[in-house]
Homo-oligomer: A and B are copies of this chain.
């Protein structure tokens, strides 16, 4: 991620990448140690057990996501254009740091009850932020929560796996055309879905 830190930070970076790519069960502490250029015992020295490491990774991911979201929220105006700018910022974040949506998708798929508190702790406050912002703009009678979830699911889906076209090509975050298509599709979907059609997106 940031590059050449040492010790605990490098371990967290490497673990984030591996947990995102391979999932919790698919990643071994030895893989993480090797990728970080450290002995497995050194990793344990810095971050404790595998579960502690995972929790630390998830917390860091949440903090980054929250910072991105709050940073974007501080800049927008509360009108249709502002909501679409917020959407753009979220897409930017998910595409520039795809490990983070991947971590969450893995988390959602697992029903390991000992980390089930992560959603309550991390996802819900972000939902509140976004839904509150949308409420100021969106007309009554629109199901904001489900609209937000559609944005989350779609952006995570595109960011993690991309799209399989009917021509058999797989396109994703590294393909600028696909990104542009995804972005304008999402702008249109959100604008229509939230009833912001007086100011239709490009």
Q: A residues near B, CB below 8 A?
A: 21-26, 102, 105-106, 108-111, 119-120, 123-124, 127-128, 131, 143, 145-147, 149-150, 152-154, 156-158, 160-161, 163-166, 168, 170, 181-182, 184-185, 188-189, 192-193
Contacts and interface: CB of A to CB of B under 8 A. Distances in A.
B182 A127 contact: no
Contacts of A184: 143
A198 to B, nearest CB: 15
Contact of A170 (B25, B119, B188, B193): B119
Chain A binding surface, main DSSP class: helix
Identical chains in the assembly: 2
Given A108-B161, A158-B149, A128 B25 contact: no
Contacts of A147: 185, 189
A164 B22 contact: no
B23 A23 contact: yes
Contact of A25 (B26, B127, B163): B26
17 contacts: A21-B111, A24-B26, A26-B110, A108-B157, A108-B161, A124-B166, A127-B166, A128-B166, A131-B166, A143-B181, A146-B181, A147-B189, A149-B157, A149-B158, A150-B150, A150-B153, A153-B157
B108 A160 contact: yes
Given A25-B22, A105-B109, A164-B119, A188 B193 contact: yes
Nearest to A147: B185
A150 B187 CA distance: 12
Contacts of A110: 22-23, 26
Chain B CB within 10 A, most for which of A106, A127, A150, A193: A150
